[in-house]
Structure 1
Amino acid sequence: MDVHSQEPFWLLKNGLLHSYPSLRQSLSCDVLIIGGGITGALMAHSLVQAGFDTVVIDKRDVATGSTSASTAMLQYEIDTALHELIPMIGEEGAVKAYESCLNAIGEINRIVKALKSRSGFKLKKSLYIAAVPDDEAFLRKEFESRRKHGFNVQWLNRKSLRNRFGLAAVAAICSSEAAEIDAYRFAHELLKASVAKGLRVFDHVEIQSTEYDPNGVRVLTQDLAMIEARNVIYCTGYESQEMLPGKVVDLKSTFAVVSEPLAELPPELRSVLLWDTQDPYLYLRTTDDNRVLVGGGDEPFKNAALRDKLIDQKRQMLTEKVRELYPDLAFVPDLAWAGTFGETKDGLPYIGEHPAFPHSYFALGFGGNGITFSVTAAQLIRDVLRGKKPDELHYYRFGR
């Protein structure tokens, strides 16, 4: 699947940071991770730290799929509002899902410090704004639900938003825990650190066939190399829908625009991530080279060609949205691109086993919380491989 258009910002900004060899010889391992994006990199880091002999393969250069097109906003706020998720899966599960994303931000912060990462990680506040006045009641209900369950939130009215953030909106929830990162660079840093501890990584590896036996999985590549693994973990994102027997995700096209670097970012903008109550929602962050990055305008995905034809139209729409929100900001669009992502019915990921794939696990962080869900998946699947049975897997199971 063509998961993004040409010229995603992070790939142009960083270039090809590292390439890995293709696989020409057969090998064996404890765990084979299929997919070398941010999810696979986080999974590999977790498993190598836990002592598993781990191999990562990717059909592209690593991290050049959806990871390179991600806006990489790290939030505990799931696409489905907490007060709406509670009646869907129960209060305990909904609160745990939000808490796991919150804890994931802290875990990424810890890893970033340990690696001395240069991935532009920054802790920020998150503003969830009412897109139109009629959404204020919905937003107030969400604020009360989060506050009831212990999340650190603050209600901001129109005057507060204007005075504190230079923002033209009627109301917002301000959450004190959020962050941003360059997911493409971070994925490369994770893989590099794990390779130093024994991880093996191979790119440009296509799978020709997969066989299951009582002891594990045998994967044959296009170059006739055989990989024998006790367990396989699929970190293949939205492309996993092509192999799963039933529909688990609605594929969407999303669009993003990044501005030219500003001489100086207003401090009130530099300190926050922003998203709104529209459906599809608008989202906005800054970068470490003083750009403003905005995304949204999602459309049902039909094919890559139709998606990419919409880029110019969406560039104009997103630019106008930024200028409406921040009338005093000199936003000049520089690059625009499109990517494909997926939405689930409840906004939650799919993590764990699937009955059609023995000795296999899936880490599919669909939706706007892909990276934080990937941290959760790496922790849960690591624990399963250690013989534990985490209760949280119930909420992320297939067939729910």
Structure 2
Amino acid sequence: MENQDKLNDGSISSGENVSFWIDSAPITEFEKPNGDVHTEVLIIGGGIAGLTTAYNLLKKGKKVVLAEDGFIGSGETGRTTAHLTSALDDRYYFLEDTFGEEGTKLAAESHTAAIAAIEKNVNDLNIDCSFKRVNGYLFLHPSDNEKNLQKEFEATQNAGLNTGLLKSTPSIYNGDQTSCLAFYNQAQFHILRYLDGLAAAVVSLGGRIYTQSRAEEITKDGALVNNYKYTADHIVVATNSPINDLVTMHTKQAAYRTYVIAGKIPKGKLPYALWWDTGDADSKWVSQPYHYVRVENFDENYDLLISGGEDHKTGQADQENIAEAERYEKLEEWTRTFFPMLEDIAYRWSGQVMEPVDSLGFMGKNPGDDNIYIITGDSGNGMTHATIGAAIITDAIMGIKNKWEDLYSPSRITLKTTLDFAKEAVNMASQYLDWISSSDLKNTADVRAGEGGIITKGLKKIAVYRDYDDSLKAFSAVCPHLGCIVHWNNDEKSFDCPCHGSRFASDGTVTNGPAQTNLKPVDVK
């Protein structure tokens, strides 16, 4: 029951469903805060971004304290599919048009270097995390055009990547009739076992890690962590979505939910590899959702096929009239079409992806601040983006100019993304109409055990959840970030904000920023 309670409050995982990574690795926890702290660098967030930054800085001789509001990897890092790749969510020909040839070369170089940096950490620290070098294969979505594959091949060659245009796609059904772009020498690993090794290295180098430690009121001086004063010369906010910024960064990116299934396949049926389709060009979403697949070791007789996709903007599944649970069904149907050897589904979970309007992450100094740094905008490439961000911020704190710093600057402006920016801005603004729209529930009697929803009482919007013991919990449905009305996510048992992606567990506890505080409890009859 203790672990179930932790699941409900979001401290083990930011949702009801448990990923394979969380299920197959021990929970890594450290002591809770017990007094005020001063250090050189305060890092907020215990995922891959925060731990890699901590490890890098400790090797440079800095004193580091890391605070994680759950356990190690309990945020979005533990809900990834752990592809390590220089094949990015958006096409390189788009990057070339946006950032120019030199900028695109830097993007390719940085992601390639990030994979190498992870591999070096695995070897240096002797981390048992199933790290493997593998090939990746990008094939066309039915809505895409064959000429775009050739166009992408040319752009990747211009960027200096090791790619090849193939007439068939290895190992997928009817692959001999499906051309693809091969990305050679990519990688994969078990993310939580990697984090466990990094956390041990941080502690061995003298770093201090605190778990179940919520940071609030972040300023240039530090933060309140479980109501203790944590002061520092430099503050790194590595929380997927920044919790220190009310507006600026949230106009540059949008939160999407992505879905994952995992099922057993007989050992040796598929090679260890990565597969992606090019994305739905007809999607209503700016991000053009795509599918992504890999294989992971499971036991002596079976591997695990891990497949993801069916994305939508957070809190807006109803915009396509496809419920969250139905998205797993659509994902399974797609997966079995290309990988018919898939047996019963053993795991399903969803994660949150921050999609920047110009495709590249935001890593470096927070706009307007001299000593506060952020790592966000992972765009589905969180493992490499986070590792790049850790390198950039480490150099910045050490007073070194990083060659990727300007490309990933959170203050950058890319004029060629104006149309996408406008679409996301209009979508965001339209969510405030929920204040005047009807609710999904008439009264509390409509709320069944294990479910929730939104009720209107006069001018108030109330979020309600009925626990499995039939007790009713009620909160203001107003997101404490910027006042949007949250939506009930019946799959992950959470209240999700459709404006900026804040998420709250069924007990009202905030599990995803940018909101810093919980939903406010209210009394209902």
TM-score (norm 1): 0.90
Deviations 1:116-139 (A, max 9, x none): 111121110010111228421111
Tell me the SS of whatever aligns to 1:67. helix
AA of the residue aligned to 2:142: V
Tell me whether 281-290 or 242-251 shows the greater mean CA deviation.
242-251
Q: Give ranges in structure 2 of 5+ residues lacking alignment.
A: 1-8, 280-287, 414-525
1:252 is aligned to 256
Q: Which amino acid aligns with 1:116?
A: N
Q: Which has the higher contact order (CA 8 A, sep 6+)?
A: 1
- How many residue pairs are counted as aligned between the two chains? 385
What is residue 178 of structure 1 aligned with on the other side? 186
TM-score, with length taken from structure 2: 0.69
* 1:352 has 2:390 as partner: no
1:272 aligns with 2:273: yes
- Range that drifts further, 146-155 or 274-283: 146-155
Deviation readout 1:226-284 (Å, 9 max, x if unpaired): 2121100110112548645452211111000000x333132xx3231011112310000
1:113 aligns to 2:123 (yes or no): yes
Specify the alignment match of 2:35 in structure 1: 25
Residue deviations 1:161-183 (CA, integer Å, cap 9, x gap): 3xx42443421001112111111
**CA positional deviation for 1:385:** 1.4
Alpha-carbon separation, structure 1, partners of 2:365 and 2:247 = 12
Query: What is the aligned partner in structure 2 of residue 294 from structure 1?
Result: 307
Percent of aligned pairs with the same amino acid: 24
Cα offset, 1:374, TM superposition? 1.3
Cα contact 2:41–2:233 (8 A) shared by 1: yes
2:143 & 2:314 partners in 1: Cα distance? Answer: 30
Amino acid at match of 1:343: E
Indicate if the aligned counterparts of 1:139 and 1:172 stay in contact, CA closer than 8 A: yes
Match of 1:375 among 387, 410, 414: 387
Question: 1:55 and 1:134 mapped to 2: Cα distance?
Answer: 47
Residue 229 (structure 2) aligned to one of 226, 232, 237: 226
Distance 1:144 1:270, change over 3 A: same
- Sort the Cα spacing of 1:149 and 1:65 in 2 relative to 1 into closer, same or farther, 3 A: closer
Query: Is residue 17 of structure 2 the alignment partner of residue 6 of structure 1?
Result: yes
- Deviation, 1:310, is 3.6
More helix by share: 1
Residue 76 of structure 2 aligns with an amino acid whose one-letter code is S
Q: Contact 1:64–1:184 (CA<8 Å) still a contact in 2?
A: no
Q: Distance in 2 between matches of 1:132 and 1:13?
A: 35
Contact residue 61 and residue 204 of structure 1 kept, 8 A: yes
Distance 1:351 1:166, change over 3 A: closer
Aligned residue for 1:20, secondary structure, equals coil
Q: In 2 relative to 1, CA 218–322 (structure 1 residues): closer, same or farther, beyond 3 Å?
A: closer
Structure with max Cα Rg: 2
Greater shift, 245-254 or 20-29, is seen at 245-254
Instruction: Tell me if the contact between 1:311 and 1:338 (Cα under 8 Å) persists in the aligned partners.
Output: no
After TM superposition, list the pairs within 5 Å mapping 1:37-186 onto structure 2.
37-132=47-142, 134-157=144-167, 160-161=168-169, 164-169=170-175, 170-186=178-194
Determine the structure 1 residue equivalent to 2:480.
Answer: none
Tell me which moved more, 363-372 or 36-45.
363-372
Q: Is the 8 A contact 1:274 1:283 kept in 2?
A: yes
Where does the alignment leave 5 or more consecutive residues of structure 1 unmatched?
Answer: none
Work out the CA distance in 1 between the residues paired with 2:342 and 2:124: 37
SS at match of 2:161: coil
Q: Deviations over 1:95-151 (max 9, x none)?
A: 111111011111111111111111121110010111228421111110122123332
CA contact 1:257–1:293 (8 Å) conserved in 2: yes
Determine if contact 2:240/2:377 at 8 Å carries over to the other structure: yes
Partners of 1:332 and 1:392 in 2: CA distance: 44
- One-letter code aligned to 1:50: K
Separation in 2, partners of 1:28, 1:313: 49
